[in-house]
Amino acid sequence: MDKKCAIVTGAARGIGLATADLFLENGWQVAMLDRDGDELLKQTATRENVLPLVRDVSNPQDVAAMVREAHGWAGRIDALINNAGVAEFGPIEDCDFAMWRRVMETNLDGVFLCSQAVTPYLKDTHGAIVNIASISGLRASTLRVAYGTSKAAVVHLTKQHAAELGEFGIRVNCVAPGPVKTKLSIAVHSPEIIQAYHDSIPLNRYGSERELAEVIVFLASEKASYVSGQIVSVDGGFDSTGVGLPALRA
C-alpha cells in the first residue's frame, strides 16, 4: 500500500513502455495496459511490480474492469497516463467514417473513459492525470484530419478536467510530443518526412522515448504539485517556431 501506483495505457511499447520503466525506476508500481496482449505479456514477464492488463481503452467495460483490477492489485491509484493512441493519416476525402471513428475511439473516447473511471480513486490520493496529445493537436497540417482533431480535443479535455477536478486535489496536464521514432511514427513517416522534420525542428532531430517519459513522470509526480491544466510540448522547439522556415535558419 506504500508504493504509489500508476496506470499507463498503451504500455506494451514506445513512449508508454518507456514511461512505465521510468515509474518503476522511481519506485512506483505500474499497471500496464495494452490491447496487444502478446507484446504486453512479453514485456511484463521481465519486470517486477507490474500488473499486465490486456484491455482496450475505447471499450467502457474494459475500462471499468481495468480500474477495478488495478485498484484491487495496488490498493491505490496515484496517476493515470493516457498514452494509448493510433495514427492513421490520409487526405480528407479518403478519411471515411470508419477511419474517423477508429482514431477517435482510441485517441479521444479512450482518454475520456479512462479519466472518468479513475477519478474516484484519484480523489483519495490527490493524484494526477497526464494525457499524451501531439504537436498535430496544436497546429493543423495535411493528412491529419482525424488524428490532429482527436489530439486537439485531448488538449481541450485536459483543460476541462483540470478546471473541474482541481477542487479535489487532482492535477491534469498534457504532453504534446514532437516526432519520436516508435512503431507508430515509423508507419507514417517516410524518409522524406523524417528529413523535413529534422530541418524544421530547432534541435534538428527526433526525440527519444525516454525524453518523453521524463516529462510525463515529472508531471505525474509531487515535483509538479502546483502544475495543472498545462500543455507541455516536448518537441525539440518545433511548436515555438511557428511557420519556422528552414531556409531562414540554414
184 binds ligand NAD (CB under 6 A): yes
86 binds ligand NAD (CB under 6 A): yes
Q: How many residues does the chain have?
A: 250
21 binds ligand NAD (CB under 6 A): no
Binding positions for ligand NAD, 28-47, rule CB under 6 A: 34-36
106 binds ligand NAD (CB under 6 A): yes
* Contacts made by residues 39-48, CB under 8 angstroms, sequence distance 24+: 39/12, 39/13, 40/11, 40/12, 42/12, 43/11, 43/12, 43/13, 43/17, 47/20, 47/21, 48/24
C-alpha cell belonging to residue 145 = 484530419
Q: How far is the CB of 25 from ligand NAD (least distance, A)?
A: 18
Q: How far is the CB of 31 from ligand NAD (least distance, A)?
A: 13
**Amino acid of residue 1:** M
Catalytic positions are: 147
Element holding 132 (H helix, E strand): strand 128-132
132 binds ligand NAD (CB under 6 A): yes
Count of residues touching ligand NAD (by CB under 6 A): 29
Which residues contact residue 229 at a Cβ distance below 8 angstroms, ignoring those fewer than 6 apart? 158, 159, 162, 163, 166, 172, 173
Q: Using CB under 6 A, which of 127, 148, 177, 236 touches ligand NAD?
A: 177
Q: Using CB under 6 A, which of 57, 103, 174, 201 touches ligand NAD?
A: 57
End-to-end CA distance of the chain: 55
12 binds ligand NAD (CB under 6 A): yes
Q: How far is the CB of 131 from ligand NAD (least distance, A)?
A: 9
Q: How far is the CB of 168 from ligand NAD (least distance, A)?
A: 25
Question: Of the listed pieces 88-96, 118-126, 174-182, 225-233, which binds ligand NAD according to CB under 6 A?
Answer: 174-182
127 binds ligand NAD (CB under 6 A): no
C-alpha cell belonging to residue 110 = 479512450
> Number of C-alpha atoms within 13 angstroms, CB side, residue 35?
12
Q: Using CB under 6 A, which of 4, 50, 66, 85 touches ligand NAD?
A: 85
Residue closer to ligand NAD (CB basis): 86 or 125? 86
83 binds ligand NAD (CB under 6 A): yes
Q: Which of 205, 151, 201, 203 is nearest to 180 (CA)?
A: 205
Residue closer to ligand NAD (CB basis): 121 or 147? 147
To which residue does cell 502546483 refer? 226
- Count of Cβ atoms closer than 10 Å to residue 140 Cβ: 11
- Count of Cβ atoms closer than 10 Å to residue 173 Cβ: 24
**Rule CB under 6 A: which residues touch ligand NAD?**
9-10, 12-16, 34-36, 56-58, 83-87, 106, 110, 132, 134, 177, 179-180, 182-185
